[in-house]
Every structure is written in structure tokens, then in C-alpha cells.
Amino acid sequence: MPRRRTSSSSSSSTAPSAAPATPRNRTPQPVRVRRRSFGDFVKAFLAFVVLLALVVGVPLALAVTVGWPLPNGAPGLDWLQREITVQTFLHILTVIVWLAWAQFAACVLVEVKAALSGVGVPGRVPGSGPSQLLARQLVAALLLVGATAASLTPGLSQLGQSLEGNQKPAVAAAQQTPGLFAQQQEQAASTANALAEQAGQAGQAAARADGGASAANGDTKYYRIQPPEGRHHDSLWEVADRHLGDGRRYKEIFELNKDRVQPDGSKLSEASLIRPGWIMEMPGDARGGELVEMPDEAPNVSEQVQQQISDYARTGGDHAQGGGGAQGGGGAQGGGDAHVPLPEQRPAPTPATPVTPATPAPGPATGGQHATPAAEESGRSFGLPEALLAAPLLAAGLLGALGRRRRQALWHSALGAVGGRRGMEPPTPTGDAQDAQDALLVGADPDGVRLLDRSLRGLAASLAAESRPLPVVYAAWMGGNGDLHLQLAQPAGKPPTPWQVGQDQTFWMLARADAERYEDAETAAPYPGLVSLGTMDDSRLLLNLEAVPGLVSLSGAEADRAAVFASVAAELATNGWSDRMTITLVGFGDDLTPLAPNRIRHLDGFEDLFETMSAETRQRRGALGAAGHDSVLTGRTGPAQHTRWAPHLVLLAAQPSDEDALRLAELAADAGRLGIGYLVGTEGTDLPGAAWEMEITGGGKLLAPLLGLELEAQLLPAAQQRAVVELFTDADPERGPGGPANTPPFLVDISEQGRPAVYARLVGSYEIIGLDTPDGDRSAQLHEALALLLLHREGVHPRVLASALWPRGVTEDVRDALLERLRAWLGTDPDGTPRLGTDATGRLTLAKSVVSDLDVLRSLYYEATQGRGVDSRQVRGRLLTDALVLVRGPLLADRPEGRYRWLTHEIIDAQLPLLVADTGLALSEFHLERGRAEKAIEALNAALRTAPADERLWHELLRATHATEDADRLRALAADLIGRSGARGLPPRTEALLDELLPTWRDGVAAAG
């Protein structure tokens, strides 16, 4: 069973060089009291003058100079017909000034009340962002030099942050998002400016001076965590803010209560989420009336609570060494509930063949492998890039996107859309690009992507059927045993079947066996913003970037940050569990666009970003309001799901300036419900408005101490990034005439002297001529291995072959044993050369004496159209006829169920129909030139049996039938085409051709209708 790291293990495992892993809030720091200077009194005097002028002077000036601008009585209809004079404009302007003054006066009253009370966050006056910010600064400067400086901390801590829209200060916003990352306010608190720090330190010193005597006398006080009110949840920051005068003193409360057993049996551990009903021992200077309770003086609570406080008081003393007691709820791991706790998992079944590093299983089984640090860009594992091997979901997405790109290029080539690219052969990668492709084939976990997508869509469909909204999901854990755990922001009731409640009410779990039974659901992707960050033990964490209530910051060396950003961007652009999204890259990634041109866009700088995202933020707020939705999640279920509410994820690798950081924090304040996520790279650790802070180390560790995370980071270093992009750019159908020519990777000697020693028939049923049938138990496996090698004459990496035959992993000795049996089965050529050899890169290759009918088909077509057939019509006709005779059906038509799953990564299913169609079209053209329409029709019908969806074949069949001058036959063919088209109707080009060849075809359609 995987275990979450405890604080002691974490600290012991980090070397001195890894000091950044240590949370900055581990121990209280001494407070430096700053004395008030002459400048403070000057600022206070100026603030008083400005406040007096704005609050009192403005209305007096208006009353004296203009007077009351509104009419004294109700205006008549003739008022609308009066001439508009200068006085009219002055009155309108005066009304506007009066309204602005009233709004500012309200802001002053709100800020003064909050500053003097010292409790909570100042209320927000609607539509008064700049006015309230000015009022706050003036009130703070005025009261800072007064005796109530300590009580000003809550109000002053938000200086410098705008209140545009629904934004609340970062700390308050964080406190309203319980569950997974409930203490993200600890990170956001660091954004308070110097003035807040000075006021807080002064208040803390005063409070300690007042309470020192009681603390010395041993008057221990306790606080009971309050239940949530609406979306507001209690937190250590707020407890310290209310009862110690400074929220930053939450560290003292934490140290007093760390690892002590709570009434429910669980414990407070490092960066842990507090629960309602827990008891907190408070420092001796705590204040707050009945909320701070002592065991013997708590008359306002029940006897049960008094007993709980008394029992808790006995656990003091050496509690810091780790209290005993069994952990309740979901705390079976023994470390309490961390903010991102590793979910409890059932022990994974022992596989029949254990996985070893030599050939790791794709998907969850590879999760525990160590990622290569970004600095080691050339890092390899057994000849292949480790970064891609350890990223199964990313590899599956890239592989699927690459296949789609290559298929698109094939169709462009077949239609002659791009000159110089005509043909069915994609470019064969070499060097780093070849290694990257092999790593994708080995590391990809398409089953994991499929199950994740179906599970999430199935959950959305089930909730919609029950008229329930989608819960806010902060993260997903994919366990090594295939189970999926969703971590919710807050409890959302009982999950729909077959989902179950996990280790507590904030976890929903789906077993792999239940996920396997899910079918494709016609619903929008509910959580398209999930993206892999790395692994802990054998579980993979996917963070939901669009659900973050603010910014996510990533610190570390530039190269390491770039590797994380590239991995996140690549997975978001190609993942299989989202429908649509926009990914905006700022400060990096202009070369990543080829991965998904429809999803990725690149902006040059912050000004472009602010202009773009400000407009989109306003648009999304308006759209949600008009649709009556609280957030994008409610728009992804129910009748309005057709709108999709696609996410917009912004990745900023560039370090923002202080001013840009504040603007960015303001922009992201309401991003969580709008479906907009921000990941920002920073050189330091303090970013205003950062809800979650992470750090990437040079050793490939992704750390988030306040969230309880220490992951093996998922990276895409620069070298692998370039190799992956090269695969996509080489397959781009728009590259133009400079692309590769239509030359097959392997040409067969089609003369009588070129008869092969081993001949495999792949097009149709699988047959092998020239070899004895191997042992029955291993025959299917050897046939599958030979088919893979025949389809890749350029060579196959041994790890690619092993991962194709054993998708869930295999040991190196089992793989080598198979290769020896395959060598023995294929034998040697007469000169003693093994028919299965290896090239200079270690890839497995077949000798030229081992040939497939697909090789022959390609060679015949190539010779007919680009070789000897170009200069000889007779040779061309014979070669094309021989090629078409080889086509006996689809590729590997009778392959056993459960085998040849690697074909999903291939594009041969698109290549073969195009090759057969091109052969049929060429042979039809050959016959029509001689006036042999019947022969042309025969060739086209033969090609249509393999490529029935190729519109070009139907067009040529119409022309060939028209050449027979048999009108009834042409009408019958047109009727057949119309019947095949179904409700969609005929394609426009087919309709145009029928209009030319058979003008009366529409009359037949009308009569049939």
C-alpha cells in the first residue's frame, strides 16, 4: 500500500542541498518591532487632509458652487422638449460627482469599521475597486500611528490588491475553498505589503506584552474549530487573526498542536487541513471571549465538548514527538490528512510477469520511475529518452495526435492538395526524432487515457441524469492498480454508481474493473483542465488547473521550469480527455504550436496577455450570467452542455514584474469559476495572488510543502521537446514541395530472380510461406512479432517490440528469449546471414529475403508510376494489374482478438486503402485511355472492396459508367450512391459530377422521396 510521506521522513530525506524543500513556515521567527518615524506622522497628516477634503470638502464645494442639481418637483412632459443648455450639462456632471462622492464616503466608512474592529476582511462596496483601494490606503496611513495599530492588520494586509469584479483578497478567497488545498491562504498571505507587515509586528508585540503575564502563569487556552458557514471554512490563519491579532501567527498554533490526537482520532500534521470539532491549544496571549475556551471555564459549551477539551489538554507536553492513537476516517496512512493526500488504495494484484526497468509497462505501472532532470537533456534509459518513457498519458496523447497529423497528410497527398507530397509514405524519422517516437510507443498508455476519459464523461452523464451539478475537482490520482481517485474541493454527497466514497467524503473513487464497463457517453468532457504533474509512489497526480482559485506559481531553475512548462503544454494540447480548449503560452513555446495549431497560441508579452485575458474574463462573466450558471461546471451538464464551456489555460514562463504580478493576481481572482487557469513561472517563491506554490528542483522533484506534495516531476526537457516537435513538423501536410518524395521504405526485386525466401501475406488473412509452423503455444506471438517487423522495415527497437507484445510490461529475460526463438524460426540465408539482425542503433531489422505482400504491392505501384512503367504503357498496365490482384481484403483480416493492439498506433489502416485506391485509379485511367470502360469498371470495383469510402473511386466509376453510354446503368449507380449517402446526402463534388453526367438524377430522387 502506498504511504504518504510524513514530515519526519520528508525532512530526513532532503539533503542540505535540497533546502528549498523545507517549508518557510516551519518555525516561528522573532518579530522586529518597528518604531513610528516622523515620516509616518507626515503620511498620517497628509492622509487626514486628503480624507477631509474628499469626504467634507467635496460636498461643501458642490453645495456652495452649484447647489442641488435635481429638480424640486416632478418634471412635466414639456421638460423633454426643452432646449439642452450648458446648465443642463453642469447639472448632469454634478449628479455624477455627488454619486462618486457617496460611493467614496461609503468606502471610507467600510474601511474604518474593518480597521477598528480588527475582525475579518473589509466588505466590498459594489463597483468601487479604485475608490475602495484609495480609501483603504488613506485610512491605513491615518490609523497606523494611532493606538489601534494592532487591529489594523486584517485591513492593511490587502493593500495593493484591486477589488475589481467579485475579487476578494487572496487569503479570503483561499479560505472559501476547503478540501484539497484549504490552507493555500498561507501562501497568499506572503503577498501583504511592507505596511501590513509593520502594523502586524507592532500589534503582535503589544499583544504579547499584554498577555505575557497570563502565559507565564500557565493559563492555557483552547479553541474548538467551528463548522463551515456556507462556503466559508475555518482555518488556522483566521483563528490566529481573530485571537492573536495577526494571521501569520498560525505557525505558533500549528507547532502547539502538531501530531496530537484529535477527538475524531486523527491528527494535525504538517500543512494539514483542520476539521470542524478539532481542539487547538492556543498561545497564552490569545484573546477572543467565549471562542477561546479553557477546560475548567467553558460554561457556554456542552459537557461533551468540555470533556473533549480536558482529554485533549492531557495530550500536551511531549506531543511534538508524535502522539499515539489510531487515525480515524481516511487517516489510515498514519500521517493525518494532507492537503493533497495520496489516496488509500487496494494492493495491486501481482502480475504474472513482473515489470522491470528494462521494459517498463506503460501507464500507471511506469509511474514510479524517476524522471530525468531537465538539466540532463540527453539523459537516456536503455537507449530511449527517460522523460517520455515515464509520462504514459503525455506519450499517449502525443502518439494519438501524431497519428492524426500523419493521416491528414496522407489525405492531402492523395487529393493532390500539396505539390511534391503525393504518396502514402510518411517520412521515416531518424536520430533523436526516431528515439522520441520509440519512447512514445514504449511509454504510451492509451488504455489509461481511454478509461480516464470514459470514467469522467460517465460521471458527468450520471450526475446530469440525477439533476446534480458537477463537483469542483482539484485533482485526480491514477493509482498503480488502475483505480481512479477524484479529490473534491468539498464534500458533494454520495457519488453515483459505480463510483464510491474514498478515504473520506472529499474523495470519489472508481475501481478499474468498474471503469472497464463504462461505454462512451455523449456528454461534454467535465474536467478538461486536468494535467499530469508527476508521481508519488506508484500513483500519478493530475492537477485541475482550471479549478484553481487564483494563480499557480512554479519556481526553480529556468531550464527545470521550462521542462515542466513544456510537459504541461504538450499534454494539455494533445490529451484525450478534453473536447476543446485554448492554451496561451507567454514567454516560451512558440515552437510548440505544431503539436496542436488549433489549441495553442503564443503571445509575445504581458501587455498582449492582459488585453486578451481582460476581454475574455469579461466575456465569460457575462456569458455565465446570461446563461444563469454559477460556474463553467454547471454549464457542462444538463441542457446547456452543448455550449461546452471550454477552458482557457494560460502558461507564463516569464517572471512578471511586481506591477504585472499584481495585475495578474487581480485578473485571476475569479478565474476558477470561469474555467481559466494560470500557471506562472517565478524566480523566487513569493508571487502575489498565488493560491498554490510549487518548486521544481534540479533533481527532478516537484515540491509543494504547504500542499504536502513531493513528486517525481513529469518533464519534457529541451532535447526531447525538439525531437517531438520534429516528428510533428515532418508530418505537417502544409510543408509544401520540399517534403519527401513518394518512395517506399523498402523496395522489393519484383523480377523472377527476386523470389524471397520467406513470404508473408498480410493483406487479407495472415499466411506465411517458406517457414515451418512454430510450436502451437508460441505461434501466435511469433507471428505477431514478425508482422510488426514487416510493417517497419526501417527497424524496430527491442523495447518497442516488447511493449507491443506485452502492453503491461515484461522482464528483459523473457523478451530476449522471444527474440532468440524468433531468430531460430526465421533461420539464416544461404550465405549464413541471420534473417533477423540488428542495425547500428541496436534496432531489429529483417533481411531482404523476408518479404510481405504489402512490400510487393508498394513496389509494384512505385515501379508502375515512378519507375519502368512511366516509359512503357504495357509494363505499367501489367504492374498495376498484378498489384491489384494482391489485395485480398483488409490488413491481417483474421487476427486473434486481444492481439495486435499496437495497430492502433499505426497509420497502415489509412495507408493501405489509399494505396489500393490509387492503384485502382491508375489502372482505370490506363484502361479508359484505350477505351476499355468495362475493364476500368472492373478495376474500380476491385479497389472499392478495400476502400469503399474513397470518394475519388466513386467519381471515376461514374465517369467509366458514363463512358459505356448505358443511361440505365448510370441511373442505377447514381441511385446506389444516393442510398449509401444516407441522411447526410451526397458530397457537393459528387452532386456537381452527377449534374454534368446525368442532369435528370434529381428527378429520380424527388420521385423516390
Question: pLDDT tens, 82-122?
Answer: 667 777 777 778 888 888 888 888 888 877 776 665 444 45
Cβ-based neighbours of 897, under 8 Å, separated by 6 or more:
none
Cβ-based neighbours of 922, under 8 Å, separated by 6 or more:
861, 864, 865, 876, 880
- CA proximity to 286, closest of 244, 254, 245: 244
Q: Which of 340-344, 390-394, 613-617, 726-730 has the lowest mean pLDDT?
A: 340-344
DSSP letters, 249-278, are: GHHHHHHHHTTPBPTTS-B--TTBPP-TT-
Q: What is the mean pLDDT of residues 886-893?
A: 90
Q: Which of 237-251, 309-323, 754-768, 893-907 has the lowest mean pLDDT?
A: 309-323
**How many whole angstroms separate alpha carbon 457 and alpha carbon 525?**
6
164: helix, strand or coil: coil
Enter the DSSP assignment of 22. Answer: S
**CB contact at 8 A, 801 and 838:** no
- pLDDT at position 415 is 67
**How many whole angstroms separate alpha carbon 456 and alpha carbon 525?**
7
**How many whole angstroms separate alpha carbon 746 and alpha carbon 731?**
19
pLDDT tens digits, residue range 784-809?
999 999 999 999 999 999 999 998 88
Percent of the chain whose pLDDT exceeds 70:
72
Task: Kindly give the pairing relationship between strand 384-385 and strand 600-603.
Answer: unpaired
Residue 231 has pLDDT above 70, yes or no: no
Cell of 909: 489502416
Count how many Cα atoms sit within 13 Å of the Cα of residue 627 in the half-sphere of its side chain. 24
Q: What's the Cα-to-Cα distance from 712 to each of 371, 531, 701, 875, 975, rounded to whole Å?
A: 6, 15, 5, 61, 62
**How many whole angstroms separate alpha carbon 423 and alpha carbon 733?**
11
**CB contact at 8 A, 234 and 228:** yes
Q: Which of 337-346, 545-554, 580-589 has the lowest mean pLDDT?
A: 337-346
Task: Kindly give the pairing relationship between strand 507-510 and strand 500-501.
Answer: antiparallel
- pLDDT at position 442 is 93
718: helix, strand or coil: helix
Average pLDDT, the chain: 76
Q: Where are the beta strands (DSSP E) in 356-424?
A: 380-381, 384-385
pLDDT tens digits, residue range 763-783?
999 999 999 888 777 889 999
Q: Where are the beta strands (DSSP E) in 135-277?
A: 221-224
Task: Give percent helix, percent strand, percent coil of the chain, each to the nearest 5.
Answer: 50, 10, 40
Enter the DSSP assignment of 618. Answer: H
DSSP letters, 531-585, are: EEEEEETTEEEEEEGGG-SSEEEEEE-HHHHHHHHHHHHHHHHH-SS-S--EEEE
**CB contact at 8 A, 476 and 485:** yes
pLDDT tens digits, residue range 2-22?
333 333 333 333 333 333 333
Residue 821 has pLDDT above 90, yes or no: yes
Q: 423 versus 663: which is more confidently predicted?
A: 663
- CA proximity to 774, closest of 761, 783, 766, 787: 783
**How many whole angstroms separate alpha carbon 690 and alpha carbon 170?**
8
Query: Predicted confidence band at 499 (pLDDT cuts at 50, 70, 90)?
Result: very high
Q: Which of 128-137, 194-203, 454-463 has the lowest mean pLDDT?
A: 194-203
- CA proximity to 288, closest of 225, 237, 235, 221: 221
Peptide bond into 498 cis (omega under 30): yes
Place of cell 420521385: 1007
Cα 921–942–863 angle (5° rounding)?
Answer: 50
Q: Name the residue type at position 585.
A: L
- pLDDT at position 317 is 57
Query: Predicted confidence band at 209 (pLDDT cuts at 50, 70, 90)?
Result: very low
Task: Kindly give the pairing relationship between strand 690-696 and strand 648-652.
Answer: unpaired
pTM confidence score: 0.65
603: helix, strand or coil: strand
Q: Which of 117-121, 303-307, 900-904, 992-996 has the lowest mean pLDDT?
A: 117-121
- CA proximity to 799, closest of 304, 386, 419, 521: 386
Residue 261 has pLDDT above 60, yes or no: yes
Cβ-based neighbours of 497, under 8 Å, separated by 6 or more:
462
Cα 794–799–803 angle (5° rounding)?
Answer: 105
**How many whole angstroms separate alpha carbon 119 and alpha carbon 102?**
25
Q: What are phi and psi of 788, to 5 degrees?
A: -60, -45
Place of cell 527532478: 700
- pLDDT at position 433 is 92
